[in-house]
Amino acid sequence: MKIGASTVSKKRLLLGVTGGVAAYKTAELARLLTQHGINVQTIMTEAACRFMGPATFQSLTGNSVYTDLWKTNAAHNMAHIDLSRNADMILVAPASANFIGKLANGLADDLLSVLCIARDCPLMIAPAMNRQMWESPATRRNLSLLRQDEVKIIGPACGEQACGEIGMGRMAEVSELVEAVQIAFQADTLLQGKNILVTAGPTYEAIDAVRGITNNSSGKMGYAVAKAALEMGARITLISGPTCLSPPKVDKFISVVSAEEMLHAVQAEVSQADIFISVAAVADYRAASIKQQKLKKSPANLLIELTPNPDILMTVSTSPNPPFCVGFAAETENLEKNAAAKRNKKKLPLLVANLAQDAIGSDENELILLDDEGKHVLPKAAKIAQARRLMTHIYSLYDKLKKNDEKN
């Protein structure tokens, strides 16, 4: 797959180099990536500096090289914060067995490991080590953990090694790594130009001046979906109920409180949307009448009449010429049965289901995707990783639907 430099221009890559003979290949990797229009910032471990000099990478990339957690080049910020916030991706090549062990177990005792642990972007590694180190149970365990954490592993290859032995452990060829980076960055354009409307968080339905009804939702999944869609190049409008989260840097952020406010916000924006993703946990009921003053406590029972809230997703999905609609179902029992019924009732091309007791407030969850092709299980992972998987699936369904429409 060949991708021109213009496809990935202005992308920012943190290139991590750990200790290993294969570090000499990374110099050529840095040169080629820079030629492809990628802004390469090199981070070297202490061991890496014993194999290659920082001046080499500085000359090839035109950027300063960072080597020390405590002696950074950042003028106003700590390097591990500043660099990780500005990166579109991190690639570690070569990734030694020692460094892989650090990543898998959350250890951060040098600048590169701190950057990887504190990152807010995809991470890719290119292992390189002796064949016996590669085959050891410890390395296999560590790699398994990294795969669960959505770290992309490129290579290694089989061949002659610096120690004279032959087997698995050679770092992937530079051309393969360049292509892997280009493909990863190309994913940023899959939804380029598309408008996506996302709802997130709970709604709050007032009973009186101080009390109300709400759903137990942190908003984390909805915000993660918005962020993942941003990474794929879409223009995002995020409509959110009350949360304690800082919203991602979407094109438009609308804060609402009640279900009716959310409905009105959705109706005002949905005509511009290509895709509508309803993640919000909207309260099913609201008080029939809201007391303007605080209800005083009494020993007698209090009866509150509740009336159903509007079904925002169904309002959109059953309207004339709706956008591509994606719904979420949080269930406490009979997950697949209840989710399938909800999908059919609301005429959704895709419904995302999860167990409420496992997902609410957590940073991880397991998802089941239900579409016309059946069931797709996304094993438990961090919500941002799940959101990226989900957005990739949404893109594939949306793209297929559009192509079918064009044929007809």
Condensed to tens digits (0 to 9), the pLDDT of residues 94-110 reads: 999 999 999 999 998 89
pLDDT, tens digit (0-9, with 9 covering 90-100), for 247-303: 888 999 999 999 999 999 999 999 999 999 999 999 999 999 898 999 888 898 988
pLDDT at 75 over 70: no
Residue 332 vs residues 340, 353, 356, 358: alpha-carbon distances, Å: 14, 11, 6, 9
Q: Are residues 176 and 216 in the same domain?
A: no
Q: Which of 188, 205, 223 is the last residue of a domain?
A: 188
136 and 233 both lie in a single domain: no
Q: Which of 147, 171, 188 is the last residue of a domain?
A: 188
Q: What per-residue confidence (pLDDT) applies to 1?
A: 33
Q: Based on the domain organization, do 146 and 285 belong to the same domain?
A: no
User: With contact defined as beta carbons under 8 Å apart, do 153 and 125 qualify?
Assistant: yes
Cis ω before 94 (30° cut-off from 0): yes
Residues 220 and 293 in one domain: yes
pLDDT of residue 28: 95
Q: Find where tokens 């959704």 sit.
A: 348
Whether 239 and 169 share a structural domain:
no
| Residues 183, 51 share a domain | yes
Q: Are residues 169 and 200 in the same domain?
A: no
Residue 273 confidence (pLDDT): 96
14 pLDDT above the threshold of 70? yes
Given a cut of 50, is residue 3 above it in pLDDT?
Answer: no
Mean pLDDT within 44-52: 94
Identify the domain containing residue 151 by its residue range: 5-188
50 and 169 together in one domain: yes
Domain stops at, among 124, 155, 188: 188
CATH number of the domain enclosing 277: 3.40.50.10300
CATH number at residue 155: 3.40.50.1950
Span of 4-8, 55-59, 263-267, 357-361 with lowest mean pLDDT:
4-8
Residue 9 is predicted with a pLDDT of: 46
Cα torsion 116, 118, 123, 129 to 10°: value is 20
Domain total in the chain = 2
Least confident range from 28-42, 50-64, 140-154: namely 140-154
Q: What is the average pLDDT score of the chain?
A: 88
Domain match, 194 and 184 both: no
Residue 355's pLDDT band (cuts 50, 70, 90): confident
Residues 222 and 248 in one domain: yes
pLDDT of residue 84: 73
215 and 198 part of one domain: yes
- pLDDT at 127 > cutoff 50: yes
pTM of the model: 0.65
**195 plus 308 within the same structural domain:** yes
Q: What percentage of the chain reaches a pLDDT higher than 70? A: 93
Instruction: Quick: pLDDT tens for 216-257.
Output: 889 999 999 998 898 888 999 999 999 999 888 899 999 999
Which residues are tagged catalytic? 163
